[in-house]
Structure 1
Amino acid sequence: MEALRKKARITRVITIASYIGLMLLFTLWYMVIHPLEVGKPWVIWALHVLPLACFIPALKSGNPRSHAWLCFVLLLYFIEAVLATTTSVETRIFGAIYTLLTATLFTAAMMYARWGGRFAKASQQAEKTSD
């Protein structure tokens, strides 16, 4: 049970770190490095950040099921990241970092959903047997 707790803690830390990194990447790219010449850059920034921001309460609570739902949403971000990497020379570095962060976040959230769920289940069973 201790091994599950340790795995869940490590993947949770990686999940939160890559989540924050992805949000910072969007902020830097769309607001500072490559703002749109025409229009308002905050609109594109908001379209990228708001769906992820909906998962802040879920990440705070540490609910494994919410982490699994985050993985489903991240699939759309991964598609965009790969396209940014392969379509334009000026977005290649952004796309590579974006792809790396998205893949890391997906993997860590998926593994936390697995190990965190198993740890929660084992903890509940241990409480029932101790009563």
Structure 2
Amino acid sequence: MAVQMAPKTRFFRIATQTGYWLLLALLILWHGLIPESDTSALPTYLSLIFWVLPMLFPLVGLVKGKPYTHAWFNFILMFYFLHGLTTVYTHPDERVWSVLEILFTTVAFVGATGFARHRGRELGLGLKKQKEAK
């Protein structure tokens, strides 16, 4: 029997999905379809493997709505968040792309964190608290 999802939990799931798919599309556009800048050291196919492949690891768990996958997905998101912050500062010509990257990773991060927390509670998952020693 499946446990019903509360509206707040559903909101976080939608936020995660929105951030994830927008970030994935942005990465494909930015590193694959938009003409490369002269400073790029990698061929397009290697750039796509490097930037898109890590986003595909949590795909199945995110689509199925698994709280544990949402929790560890945040570690992958931090890579893209830091890249966006660095690029905003170091590459002014790519500032729009990097601001979008920061925005989408933030939406996905907040959504995944909220979903993992609320859905985990709904399913009775989580760490058990140890009783205080007397």
TMscore range, shorter length = 0.7 to 0.9
Distance 1:11 1:22 in 2: 16
Cα offset for 1:113? 0.5
2:14 paired residue number: 13
Separation in structure 2 between the aligned mates of residue 34 and residue 96 of structure 1, nearest angstrom = 19
CA RMSD of aligned residues (A): 2.0
1:53 paired with 2:56, answer yes
2:73 corresponds to: 70
TM-score by length of 2: 0.82
Q: What corresponds to 2:122 in structure 1?
A: 119
Shift of 1:35: 2.3
Distance 2:64 2:123 in 1: 13
Whether contact under 8 Å (1:82, 1:99) holds in the other structure is yes
Greater shift in the superposed pair: 56-65 or 26-35: 26-35
Q: Structure 1 residues 42 and 111, CA, compared in 2 at 3 Å: closer, same or farther? A: same
Residues 76-121 of structure 1: CA distance to partner in whole angstroms, max 9, x if unpaired?
Answer: 2111110111111111111101111111111110000011111222
Tell me the matched-pair count: 121
In structure 2, the partner of 1:88 is 91
User: Hey, which of these two has a bigger chunk of helix by percent?
Assistant: 1
What is the CA distance between 1:49 and its match in structure 2?
A: 0.9
User: Gapped runs of 5+ residues in structure 1?
Assistant: 123-131
